[in-house]
Structure formats: structure tokens, C-alpha cells
Structure 1
Amino acid sequence: MYSLEDEKLENARERVIDSISKNMDIYSVTPSVGRLYGAMFFEKEPMTLDEMKDKLQMSKTSMSTGVRTLLDLNMIEKVWRKGERKDLYEVKSDWYQTFTDFFCIHWRKGIEMNRDACKESITELMELLEDDIPHEKRITAQEDLDRMSYALGYYEWLNKVVDLFESREIFDVIDKVE
């Protein structure tokens, strides 16, 4: 029999699962993968793909794709249980590390791409400024060069921010709430 307490518990969980699924786009995943993660978050025991499929009423293919995505993001892990033949998965317990891993990988990639583009453009602008070009073009090229030099300074600063996360020194500045 389904009691009022069961309903309140289910509503509380569903609210959090729904919120997680709507916000998983920051990790570049679909709401359905977010629902999977949210559902797994509340499970006390690791789950098989079949259990996930039954719980979420989704296809096994969808579950497999979602699990692979969450494994790639380092948000869940495969676990082993004696006597169990099927693969089991559970949410990684250290959300701080999960965020740090994701943040660092994506930000480093973005920083590197933007920094490389600026450096290449700065070289090109420097060569242009060595040529005999009209005054207006020289002013524009110099302004662009100044902006790109500023951007490079920003990317160096951003690298230091990422370093704080990778070294875990960020937790010396902002304590984890456990």
C-alpha cells in the first residue's frame, strides 16, 4: 500500500531528479542522461542496466548509452560484487572530484584553443604591422593586438584557476561542505 509518507518521499526525490536532469546540460548531456544520474544518486546499491531500464522505463540501449556517457564524464563507476555476472554501476561519491575532473578537462581544452588562436593571430598582426599599411589599418591592427594580448593574460590567469582545482588548493580557499 502506498502511504502519504511514501508519496512525500517520492515527490522529494523526483523534485531533485528533475532538477538534476534539467541542469545536466552544463556537462553536455541530455536530460534523459541527467534523469539516469539523478535516479542512480538515490540508490543505496549499485544497479545493473536492466534495473536502470525498469526503474526509468527506458530502453536498454538508452541506458547503455547513458551509462557510457556518465562513465566518460567520470560521474559514475563500474563496481564489482562477488557472484554478480552483470555489470554494476553506482554514482561516484566525491562530487567535488567529479566537478574538478570535468571542469579541468573542459577548461584546459578551451583555454588552449583560445590561446593558440590568439597567438597565431598576434603573429599575423605583428607581421602586418611590419608592412607599409594605411594608417587606419595600422590603428585597427594595433587595437586588435592589444585586445588579444589582454586575452592572453586572461587565459594565463584562467590556467592558474584551473591549477587551483587540479592541485586541490582550491579547498584551502573554500572548504568542502561534507
Structure 2
Amino acid sequence: MKDHEILERTRTIVIDAIAQNMHLYGITASAGRLYGLLFFSDKPLTLDEMKEALGMSKTSMSVAVRSLLDLNMVEKVWVKGERKDLYAIKDDWYECFFDYFTIKWQTAIAMNSSAMEKSIAKLQKLIAEPETSEEIREQAFIDIKKLEERLDYYDWQNRLIDSFETKEILNFVPIEKKKD
């Protein structure tokens, strides 16, 4: 086996692993392969170069690039004299991690908190209605308590997210390993 083949096979192993695990991030396997391709590329690539290397349609490639851009895992790069858009992975994996989780968590928290706050308001109106039965009123109080406890949890998650955004989390979990 030639050295070049060994190099390509080792890269393929990593790219395949990345592609298989990208579903954990809500990303398709094809976007994972694209990320792996950009990881090993020694220069930013155009959509056409990526399409050719991965054998994907231009539409699929564009969707994959967009999803990686939205998660701040890939960035558009400017190169003097180049007219086409070029893309490269972001080198700071720690920042990518922070960005990904804060984006995903904030979206989920906002959606769930909003639904719960609206439900609490409706349950409070239901409780206040004189014709509401005692059984329904008791169940509404129980539901409000559950929802308020969950909102407390989301408050904690928001504070955790804040520690990611400010990098305060690194005071507790530093990037460098502690030396024994």
C-alpha cells in the first residue's frame, strides 16, 4: 500500500466517524462528510470543489454548507482574486462547541418556556373561574407547580449558557488538562 493510500484511508476513517456522529448535532451525514473534507483540506474550498470531492449535487452541498454555517462550524472565507465563495471550518473547536450548544439550548429553552408561561397564565384563569370544579382546580394547581419547577430548571440552564458565552465555564473546566 502506498503512503498516499494510507493517508487517504486514515482520513476516510475520521471523516466516516464524523459523518456518523453528526446526527447528535442535528446534522445530516452528508454535512458531516463535508465537515470532514474541510477539516482535512489545506485550503478553503468552493461549492464546486466540495461537490466534486464528495459527489453530491450542488443543491445538497449548498444545504449542507448552510447548516454548518448556521451552527458556526464553517465560515465563509475571502481570498484575494477569488470570485466564488470559499468555505473553511472554524479552527477554534472550543468556540464551535460553545456556539453550537448555546444556539441549540437557547432555542429549545425559549420555545419550551414560552409554552409553559402561556399554559400557566391559562391555568391561572381557569382556577379563577367560579364555575371551575374543585377537581379541575386542584389538577391545575398541580400542573402550575410542575411547570414552575421546569421554568426554574430553564433558568438554571440559561445561567449555564451564560457561563458558556462569557467563558466563565473555563474557570471550572479549563481547556488545558491539569498536570499530575
TM beyond 0.5: yes
Contact 2:71–2:103 under 8 Å retained in 1: no
Please state how far the C-alpha of 1:37 moved relative to its aligned partner. Answer: 0.8
Task: Identify the range of structure 1 (98-107 vs 148-157) with the bigger mean alpha-carbon deviation.
Answer: 98-107
- Which deviations, in whole Å up to 9, do the C-alpha atoms of 1:71-110 show, x marking residues without a partner? 2222111222233333221111011111212211221121
Identity %: 49
How is 1:142-157 mapped onto 2 (pairs within 5 angstroms)?
Answer: 142-157=141-156
Cα offset, 1:62, TM superposition: 2.6
Q: 1:131 to 1:35 in 2, by over 3 A?
A: same
Distance 2:45 2:33 in 1: 14
Where does residue 107 of structure 1 map in the other structure? Answer: 105
User: What SS does the aligned partner of 2:43 have?
Assistant: coil
One-letter code of the match for 2:106?
R
Aligned equivalent of 2:39: 41
Query: Per the alignment, in what secondary structure is the counterpart of residue 87 of structure 2?
Result: strand
Tell me, in whole angstroms, the C-alpha distance in 2 between the residues paired with 1:137 and 1:163. Answer: 38
Q: Distance in 2 between matches of 1:112 and 1:69?
A: 21
Count of residue pairs brought into register by the alignment: 176
Superposed CA RMSD in Å reads 1.9
* Equivalence map 1:48-87=2 (5 Å): 48-87=46-85
Distance 1:80 1:143, change over 3 A: same
Q: Does 1:139 align with 2:144?
A: no
The equivalent of 2:167 in structure 1 is 168
SS in 1 for 2:104: helix
Provide, for residues 146-168 of structure 1, a one-character-per-residue CA deviation record: whole Å limited to 9, x for no partner. Answer: 10111111111111011111111
C-alpha change, 1:124 and 1:87, in structure 2 (3 Å) is closer
Structure 1 residue runs without a partner (length 5+): none
For the residues of structure 2 that align with 1:61 and 1:116, how far apart are their CA atoms? 35
Q: TM-score, normalised by structure 2?
A: 0.87
TM-score normalised per structure 1:
0.88
> What is the DSSP-based 3-state SS (H/G/I as helix, E as strand, rest coil) of the residue aligned with 1:175?
coil
Query: Once structures 1 and 2 are overlaid, which stretch shifts more, 81-90 or 32-41?
Result: 81-90
* Structure 1 runs, 4 residues or longer, greater than 4 Å off: none
* Structure 2: stretches of 5+ with no match in the other structure: none
* Structure 2: distance between partners of 1:177 and 1:63: 35
